[in-house]
Amino acid sequence: MPLKIALIGNPNSGKTTLFNILTGSNQTVGNWPGVTVEKKEGRLVDDRSVFICDLPGVYSLSPYTSEEVIVKQYLENECPDIILNIVDACSLERSLYLTTQILDFRIPTVIVLNMMDILEKQGKKIDTEILSDLLGCSVVKISAANKTGLQKLKNTIRLTINNSAVNLKFDTTTEKALNEIYKYTAANSANLARWYSIKLFERDFSAANKLGIKADALKKIDSIINTAEKAFQNSSENIIATQRYKMVEFIYNKCVVSNKNRQNTLTDKIDNIVTNKYLAFPIFICVLFLIYSLALGSFSQNASEFITNGLFGQGWFLFNIGAHEYERDLNSYTENTKIIEYFSKNDNGSLKFANIYIYDQNGKITKKIAATRQDYENALKSTLPDKSRYGIWIPGLKSSVQNLLSKTNCSDEINDLITYGIISGAGAVVGFLPQIFILFLCLSVLESCGYITRIAFITDRLFSRFGLTGKSFIPIIVGTGCGVPGVMASRTIESGRNKLITIATTTFMPCSAKLPLISLICSTFFKHRMLAAVSIYIISILSIILTALIFKNFKYLSASTSPFIMEMPSYHLPKLSAVLRDVRQKVISFLTRAGTVIVLASILIWLLSNYGISNNVLVKCEIDNSILAQIGKHIAPVFKPLGWGDWRFTVSAISGIIAKENTVSTLSILFKGHELSAVIQEILNANSAFSFMVFNVLCVPCIAAVATIYREINSFRYGTLIVCYQCCFAYLIAFAVYKLLFLTLPVMLIIIYYASKTKKAKHAP
């Protein structure tokens, strides 16, 4: 019977490198059922009876991500003979959290300390004997990159086959509760009884369904959990998380020895600069500026225009040949149309000369045309330029679909819905994919090389002064990708008060869904668009700090901060494959939302904006008389003080509550037939546009994130309080931005400074 070995570890721990060495070419690659996560299996080079599975890299077995679900289900269903837990020796403290969960499965485990050569260069040592005693399993030191320690690992695997597994113990109160729950799991789960007991204690009742525990037993288990929660004044899931973190901290302090006389490494020298008391924040702002210089640069802008107006629009000229000449003749035709309109309206037979003005929607003159009667007669002969006469014209998706539907005698309503509703709506969001790809790429590189951890460290130094725990910044960092996992990441915060404040502020950070709006506004209205984009992040961070100061004035919500212990990984060059895989997953997630939620929302917006009610009958009508227009016009006055009282912007902001990507796609549908950046420039000015952007960034997040807020807080009253606060706070900051624009930043800094001083004075002895 073949021996099954599972390789489990954090991402970038060297797990896949070790798998490739152990299996050589004896491996197969595919995907796990139902997901796009890569699946690798193989046989040991020296012994083909040993079967090895390389599981996806995870930080825990919570499970919140598809990778974590896969690893958890594999361990529950497959029950491997041995687990090789690959641990990055340079990030031991971070890696051991996963180890404590693995040991709960009571499967024979070998701790494989990888990258020991790098750790020794840092002047640190790990006492493997102490670590082995504390964890109750074998520990082997290797360097997968240098292929050292591998023979000892293979020998240890053979010796571990018949070893009995042990698990770590929590404190007395927690263990008492787990032992009481154990009685309900032992009969049905054999060696996994300990794991299922902990899952039930954490209220993961999928375990109850799997074990077939009856309703009366579940009530008794719930009573056991409630007793423990009252004793700790915390949720059961946070109780277990806190116990694990304390366990990890104890083990780390016992087995890691630092050489006090060691020389500074390259990591130390870099950290002396990037975490410097005075240089840290200026460097952080410069890094943000550099990222947005790349993300919003001319390359991404041109690519975005190509996708929106070319691929998803009417089409494009191959290699841009003939585009300039076509634009010149099109502008000339537009001017001739204005001349014809003016002379036809005002000519009584004697008009020989006229000054014709072209206005925008705000009544501002954009161009003056001095036209004679001869110009008028020439204009009558002008025709709309034919794109096919200028270079090689390739029709876009909108144009192609429009022509195809016309040939099939499709109704005008369906044609309009598909082209101006679905294609324009989805295309407006997908068009920002180049900016989002570059931004994801930059953030992934920063995370892989180790700088993101430094940002958390330097920001913690600031946050702790205003009553926020250092752990609050981790959900905020996660929230830059998506608000849902960002809110869920607050589970690691022990204090219920700090957790509430963190949940209330996490979604202030711009997530990927808000990037299309940021890109649109900054590129359209600001010459220095990178500075405008960076200022949004600064406003978000200041909003978090200001909210913490506001909440500190409420007795129930004020709390002392706990020290934030963070292990700094060494700087290293990012792995291209890992970076591209991370970016690919995020881009696929973004496109999936554009292809599902955005399409459905676009259809709804199109229907509401094209139909109205007349004599109690639903009829096709102009957009200004539509159902959506009537709703928007009633709500629009509320936002007039913010500078964007036009009903179309009001509706787009409200549609963003479904999904933040809808903000841009809704505008694209409501301004159908116009280039979005050009038409909004005619309605808004820089102040009102920036106000619109700030409101949508700070206001209540999408429905999925709101549902997560309610679920994590588990209180309708406090969940509603947070949602209402976010709306009111966003309104006030947007109003300040409309009146002051970039002066809002120093004003917020002054308010924060004096508010923190006042708070200190109140607590002075």
Instruction: Look up residue 570 and give its two tokens.
Output: 């060494």
Question: What are the domain boundaries of the chain?
Answer: 3-160, 315-395
Residue 467 has a pLDDT of 64
The tally of CA atoms less than 13 A away on the side-chain side of residue 537 is: 20
Residue 360 has a pLDDT of 55
> Cα–Cα distance between 48 and 26 in angstroms, integer?
9
Sheet holding 109-114, edge to edge: 27-31, 38-43, 50-54, 3-9, 82-88, 109-114, 138-141
DSSP 45: S
Return the CA Rg of the chain. 31
Cα dihedral angle (146, 255, 491, 55), rounded to 10 degrees? Answer: 30
> Cα–Cα distance between 513 and 662 in angstroms, integer?
9
With both helix axes pointing from N to C terminus, report the angle between 172-189 and 193-201 in degrees, rounded to the nearest 10: 120
Instruction: Look up residue 77 and give its two tokens.
Output: 């269903």
Residue 273 has a pLDDT of 87
CB-count exposure of residue 761 (10 Å: 0-12, 13-18, 19+): exposed
Helix (H) or strand (E) holding 227: helix 215-232
Give SS3 for 626: coil
Instruction: Look up residue 304 and give its two tokens.
Output: 């975005």
Residue 484 has a pLDDT of 73
Cα dihedral angle (30, 33, 37, 43), rounded to 10 degrees? Answer: -40
CB-count exposure of residue 364 (10 Å: 0-12, 13-18, 19+): exposed
Residue 695 has a pLDDT of 92
Check: CB of residue 108 under 8 Å from CB of residue 83: yes
Cα dihedral angle (600, 628, 636, 680), rounded to 10 degrees? Answer: 70
Residues, the chain, total? 765
Check: CB of residue 105 under 8 Å from CB of residue 80: no
φ, ψ (nearest 5 deg) of residue 352: -110, -20
CB-count exposure of residue 26 (10 Å: 0-12, 13-18, 19+): middle
Q: What is the pLDDT of residues 489-535, one digit of tens each?
A: 676 565 566 778 888 888 888 887 788 888 888 888 887 777 888 88
Residue 264 has a pLDDT of 66
Residue 553 has a pLDDT of 67
Check: CB of residue 661 under 8 Å from CB of residue 701: no
Residue 732 has a pLDDT of 93
Check: CB of residue 417 under 8 Å from CB of residue 401: no
> Cα–Cα distance between 366 and 328 in angstroms, integer?
17
With both helix axes pointing from N to C terminus, report the angle between 529-552 and 686-698 in degrees, rounded to the nearest 10: 50
The CATH class, in words, for 3-160 is alpha beta
Give SS3 for 567: coil
- Does pTM top 0.85 for this prediction? no
Check: CB of residue 50 under 8 Å from CB of residue 28: no
> Cα–Cα distance between 285 and 3 in angstroms, integer?
52
**Residues in the chain, pLDDT under 50:** 35-36, 361-362, 558-563, 760-765
Instruction: Look up residue 341 and give its two tokens.
Output: 């309109």
Helix (H) or strand (E) holding 353: strand 353-359
Check: CB of residue 420 under 8 Å from CB of residue 429: no
Give SS3 for 8: strand
> Cα–Cα distance between 476 and 28 in angstroms, integer?
38
Q: What is the pLDDT of residues 323-344, one digit of tens each?
A: 888 888 888 888 888 888 877 7
Residue 504 has a pLDDT of 85
Our measurement of the distance from residue 682's CA atom to the centroid of its chain's CA atoms, rounded to an integer in Å, reads: 32
Residue 381 has a pLDDT of 84
